[in-house]
Amino acid sequence: MKRSRAFKQRATLIVLLLGATLVALNALAFRVDAGIDLTPNYRHSVSDDVTALFKRFNTPMRVEYYVSASLPPAFAGLEREVVRRLSAIADGAGADAFAFEPSRDVVRLDDSAKTIETLKSLKIPPVALPSGAETVYFYSALKITHAAAREPVVIPRILSAASMQYDLISKALRLSMLKVQPATPDDTFRGLRSGVRFVYVYGDMNGDEMPSAKIHVRDGVWAELERIQQLNPAYISVSKELAGKSRFTPRLKRVQDITSGESGSAPESIIYFSSVVAIGQFGEESSFDQIKNTEGLATLLAGGAWALGAAREKVGFFTPSQRPELSEPEQKVLYSPRYGNSMPEDRATSISLALDYITTGVMIDFDHTIPQGLGVLVLVRPGALNPRQLYEIRAFLARGGHVLLIGGEWHTPLIDRYFGINPASTSLADVWLPNQSGPSFTLRAQRMKETMSGLLKDYGVETEAGILLSQRQSVPYRVYGPGQTTPGQLYPDPIRQNGVLGIVPYATPTGHLLTSDVNKLPLRGASPLKLDETRLKTLGLSAQVLFKAPGDAELLRPLHDTGRITLNYRATTMSPLDVLAPKRDNDTGVELVSAPDAIVGVLIEGQFPFDPNEPPPTLPDGRIPYSPGMGSAFTPKPGKLVVISSPDLFEVTDVRGWRQGEPPLVGGSDQLEESSRRRLLANVLDAFIFGEELVRVRGSTTPVPHRLDEWTLDEIRLWCGLVLGLAPAAVLVAGGIVFLRRRKRHVQATI
């Protein structure tokens, strides 16, 4: 008994000691937070480039970090992971540029003031939707802003704690934040852009049947909406002003007044924005009754327009004053609103540019020349230029001018007959077909008379069907839905894999958009641009191709990960991915020229050919040109030519001819378009013309490698057989042998 008691005491002591030691060890390990990133390219670590980037900032950054009160189980470690990531960045950047206090739920950091302001901890419970069947979750948002950014930029990838978490996070943060009832828009919905859209509008203009009015949009949710807006600026915008409002009533009332021209009763509407669920679930049986009335739609549209208009005020766009490194001539962007043919879009583009740059109208129709000392000439959809104008452009380029040619009409929407939705003008990432087995349909793109294609060809840029299209000559182009072009060869879109996003059916004049040579990736916004390498080489010009940015980055990431292209961050803006790729990269074997469908833009640099003694052509009206040519006054200098062949290149109607006689589909929402255009323009100008520094992102940004083509049935059978059958068979055979031997031994022993 005594021994037993002594043992019990000793055992208790040992257990306590061991327990305490282990707890201490674990606490220490937890505190040290040391780890080895085993992934190729150090996926879970902050890249040197990013850290260096933060170090270069001479103004402080602000970090806001939100986590909802009740995270779903899969996100249990999210908060800590976010903190770890931020701490890693902070360590890399140094306290001068970035500071982070990890012990707070929500922090705001402001180095300039040398203070760390701790905000009230944000706890956002799930919000029940009116039906009670769905739950709105707000998971988390990490917003990093910097003065150099055009707008607050979220770096969601920082959140990727682990590969498996990444998928969950991206799905949750980017796509599934709001779980809403499946909804199908009816015809009245076609005015909205696709992608991020108003998913759930519970609107009753009289406010009598508004259970959802009780739902408050909380700050954190709002932050998340902002983040989505940043990812999809073309579709959605939100205003922080709304963050404190529990209802939209006052604003919507105002919007309604503007829209309808009469002041009625204040509508009470709850608007949920989502990039998401609607995308995955459109096409299924559902209803969108709430917005079937035109009033509701008008409110919806106007609400979006208003929200974006308000958001513009808070967005810190680049202005020349924030660009001290640029000399005065470089800041000056010339814009030609009457270049060849007059279009209302030109005016809009001009206004848009004027917001960011010093712009000047150039009327070379009348002046017959491009003034000296100007930085960039922007040509927006320059119809049929006469020989004299082309001559001026050639001379301008040859004397070091920068030309930005936007080859499409900015306002032109694409419509598909399933949803009547318009794509973005800066990114096509969010246009999709919900029914993958549905029939393909026909869009009509029409060519427009133009003369730039000839000049571009001379510079080594081939445009196949021409750089411009118009409504005049209707040419049908077959557009394919996902899986309809070359079944089994489409590249897996990681987002689509999650069942949320589909693939975009965009037309190209060659009609094979979805059969891009690059891994069969259904790149969107494809254009007929091709580079004539021989010609470029002959002229001594270099070329760089441009993909759509930023939304297509998601689709392009698999290519990036497989080393086919290179994604770059904009160093000074940290805007979402600009997707740039060298024309040919010997290191990575990139040969993007072989994938013309993927190219939506090209930058040609170098000394453009021009004979200074070439006499200028006669003016169209037969008058003798006032200038006999450049002669000895001409000083050759390397120039830049950027050609953007956007999806807006196409003037499109659907099979029902919706386009004809209709007002602009995003009627009343000019800001939506403008924001979109402005962003693309500014990005292109800054990156290509002004040569903003690019930061190369580490090779592998996706968490998972993918197989590029579909598994064949034979392969599936083979590998299933091997995985499920090989080892068990081997084990059973081994077991059988052992038993047989034992039995034999047993028999021998018996004998």
Partner 1 sequence: MISVLRRELLAFFTSAAGYVLMAVFPVAMGLLALFVFPAVLERGASWFHTKELTMRSFFLAFPWVAAAVMPAIAMRSWAEEYRGNTFQLLLTLPAPSWRLVAGKYLASVAVLCLMLLTTGVFPVMIAANGGWEGGPIFGGYLGCLLLGSGYLAIGMFASSLTSNQLGAYMAALLACGTLTALGSFAGLAGSSGALSSMVRFMAAGDHFNLLAAGYLKLETVTFFISMAAFFLMLTALGVEGRRYR
Q: Give yes or no for residue 79 binding partner 1 (CB under 8 A).
A: yes
CB nearer partner 1, residue 66 or residue 610 = 66
Distances (CA, A) of 41 to 48, 162, 388, 571, 577: 11, 14, 53, 20, 18
CB nearer partner 1, residue 74 or residue 128 = 74
CB nearer partner 1, residue 79 or residue 597 = 79
Among positive and negative, which fits the CA dihedral 111, 112, 115, 117? negative
CB nearer partner 1, residue 66 or residue 100 = 66
CB nearer partner 1, residue 147 or residue 727 = 727
H or E element in which residue 140 lies: strand 140-146
CB nearer partner 1, residue 45 or residue 188 = 45
CB nearer partner 1, residue 22 or residue 633 = 22
Helix/strand/coil for 649? helix
Using CB atoms within 10 Å of the CB of residue 327, give its burial: 0 to 12 exposed, 13 to 18 middle, 19+ buried: exposed
Distances (CA, A) of 409 to 187, 350, 406: 24, 13, 8
Q: What's the min distance (Å) between Cβ of 52 and partner 1?
A: 23
Q: Pick the piece of the chain touching partner 1 (CB under 8 A) from 196-204, 285-293, 548-556, 712-720.
A: 712-720
Among 449, 537, 742, 744, binds partner 1 (CB under 8 A): 742
Q: What's the min distance (Å) between Cβ of 484 and partner 1?
A: 17
CB nearer partner 1, residue 147 or residue 738 = 738
Q: Give yes or no for residue 13 binding partner 1 (CB under 8 A).
A: no
Q: Give yes or no for residue 14 binding partner 1 (CB under 8 A).
A: yes
Among 113, 133, 624, 723, binds partner 1 (CB under 8 A): 723
Q: Give yes or no for residue 720 binding partner 1 (CB under 8 A).
A: yes
Q: Pick the piece of the chain touching partner 1 (CB under 8 A) from 52-60, 109-117, 462-470, 701-709.
A: 701-709
In the range 106-145, which residues lie near partner 1 by CB under 8 A?
123
Q: Give yes or no for residue 498 binding partner 1 (CB under 8 A).
A: yes
Q: Pick the piece of the chain touching partner 1 (CB under 8 A) from 158-166, 508-516, 548-556, 680-688.
A: 158-166
- Greatest CA separation for the chain: 124
Please tell me the count of residues contacting partner 1 according to CB under 8 A: 76
In the range 393-432, which residues lie near partner 1 by CB under 8 A?
none
Cα 63-69-72 angle, rounded to 5 deg? 105
Q: Give yes or no for residue 374 binding partner 1 (CB under 8 A).
A: no
Q: Give yes or no for residue 44 binding partner 1 (CB under 8 A).
A: yes
Query: Quick check: 543 and 499 in contact, CB under 8 A?
Result: no
Cα 692-694-697 angle, rounded to 5 deg? 165
Q: What's the min distance (Å) between Cβ of 6 and partner 1?
A: 9
Beta pairing, strands 567-570 & 694-696: antiparallel
Q: Terminal CA-to-CA distance of the chain, rounded, Å?
A: 52
Among 16, 35, 244, 538, binds partner 1 (CB under 8 A): 35
Cα 465-468-469 angle, rounded to 5 deg? 80
Query: Quick check: 408 and 426 in contact, CB under 8 A?
Result: no
Tokens (6 digits) for 459: 């510079």
Tokens (6 digits) for 408: 């499409």
Residue written as tokens 């901890």?
A: 121
What are the helix (H) ranges across 315-447? 328-331, 344-356, 364-367, 387-398
Query: Quick check: 546 and 579 in contact, CB under 8 A?
Result: yes
Among 9, 16, 20, 25, binds partner 1 (CB under 8 A): 25
Q: What's the min distance (Å) between Cβ of 564 and partner 1?
A: 14
CA dihedral 342, 345, 350, 353 (to 10 degrees): -150
Q: Give yes or no for residue 245 binding partner 1 (CB under 8 A).
A: no
CB nearer partner 1, residue 173 or residue 456 = 173
Q: Pick the piece of the chain touching partner 1 (CB under 8 A) from 15-23, 224-232, 591-599, 658-666.
A: 15-23
Among 16, 20, 52, 69, binds partner 1 (CB under 8 A): 69
Q: Give yes or no for residue 68 binding partner 1 (CB under 8 A).
A: yes
